[in-house]
Amino acid sequence: MGNEILFAVFMCVIAYLGLLLYQHRELKKLNIKIDALTLLLKETDHQGETMKRELQELRSGTIGIGRRMQELEKKAAQQDARLDETNQQDPQAKLYTRAMKMVDLGAGVEELIHECEIPKAEAELLIRLHCKS
C-alpha cells in the first residue's frame, strides 16, 4: 500500500507539472498577444496624432481661404458700388445700360433709337453684341 500511495503522489506531481507547463505556454501566448496589441495601440495613437495634425492644418487652411474669400467678396462689392456710382454719374453710360437691358428684353432697333436716343448704327451694334442666341 505504501507503493500505491507513492505512485499516486508521483502521478499527482506529474499532473501538476504538466498543468504548470500548459499554463506557462498559455501565459507566453497571452504575453505575445498583449505585446502585439500594445504595439498596435501605439501605432493607432501615432496615426491619431498624425490625423489631428493634418486636421489642424486643414482647419488653418480653410480659415485662411475663408478670410481670403471675405476679402474678395468685399472688394467685389466695392467694385460693384464704384461701377454703379460711375454709371449714375455718366448720363451716356445710363443710356447704354438702359439700351442693353432693353435688348435683353427683346427691343428692336427703332425702339432703341426712340427710347435711348442713340444712332441707328449703335443700336444695331448693341443688338448684335447683346442679343441672346
SS3 for the chain is CHHHHHHHHHHHHHHHHHHHHHHHHHHHHHHHHHHHHHHHHHHHHHHHHHHHHHHHHHHHHHHHHHHHHHHHHHHHHHHHHHHHHHHHHCHHHHHHHHHHHHHHCCCCHHHHHHHHCCCHHHHHHHHHHHCCC
Query: The C-alpha cell of 59 is what?
Result: 482647419
In sequence order, which residues have a C-beta less than 8 Å from that of residue 128 and are 6 or more positions away?
none
Confidence of residue 129 (pLDDT cuts 50, 70, 90): confident
Cα angle 113, 117, 118 (rounded to 5 degrees) comes to 70
Q: Note whether 47 and 4 are same-domain residues.
A: yes
- The pLDDT value recorded for residue 18 is 92
Task: Please give the model's pTM, rounded to 2 decimal places.
Answer: 0.44
Q: Mean of the pLDDT values across residues 99-124?
A: 86
- The pLDDT value recorded for residue 93 is 63
Of 35 and 118, the structure prediction assigns the larger pLDDT to 35
Q: Note whether 77 and 94 are same-domain residues.
A: no
What confidence tens digit (pLDDT) does each residue in 1-35 have? 778 999 989 999 999 999 999 999 999 999 999 99
What confidence tens digit (pLDDT) does each residue in 73-89 have? 999 999 988 877 776 66
Q: Note whether 82 and 101 are same-domain residues.
A: no
Number of compact structural domains in the chain: 2
- The pLDDT value recorded for residue 92 is 65
Q: Note whether 102 and 132 are same-domain residues.
A: yes
- The pLDDT value recorded for residue 48 is 94
Q: Note whether 58 and 72 are same-domain residues.
A: yes
Q: Note whether 15 and 38 are same-domain residues.
A: yes
pLDDT at position 37 over 90: yes
Q: Note whether 48 and 22 are same-domain residues.
A: yes
Q: Note whether 49 and 112 are same-domain residues.
A: no
Q: Note whether 67 and 15 are same-domain residues.
A: yes
- Containing domain of residue 125, as a range? 90-133
**pLDDT above 90: percentage of residues in the chain:** 47
